[in-house]
Amino acid sequence: MEIMQVAGSLVCSQRVEGLAHMNLRILRSPKGKLTVAVDPVGASVGNWVFTASGSAARFACGNPEIHTDLTIGGIIDFWEPDG
């Protein structure tokens, strides 16, 4: 698991069938790297979230048939990142 911040939403008018209609979010790591994750929890821009990656990401999104390797597992209510 990794802690990341939601930087925005990603809208795709065309996508592979294996992504179904899952919401997609752009996440920023504490080091500034951007990545895309499936969002089954409804995170908003600015939220800090924890993620599941690899094969665990498919199960974390609630449907192991979804083609993902990064899923938001939850929204962090309180966390103070190290300076």
60 pLDDT tier (thresholds 50, 70, 90): confident
Q: Where are the domains of the chain?
A: 2-75
Rounded to two decimals, the pTM is 0.87
Q: Which residues face 55 on adjacent strands?
A: none
Cα–Cα nearest to 70, from 25, 5, 14, 33: 25
CATH homologous superfamily of 2-75 equals EutN/Ccml (2.40.50.220)
61 pLDDT tier (thresholds 50, 70, 90): confident
Report pLDDT digits (tens) over 17-53. 877 788 899 999 989 999 999 999 999 999 999 999 9
Per the structure block, which two tokens stand in for 3? 């802690």
Q: How far is CA 49 from CA 15, 26, 44, in A?
A: 24, 12, 10
83 pLDDT tier (thresholds 50, 70, 90): low
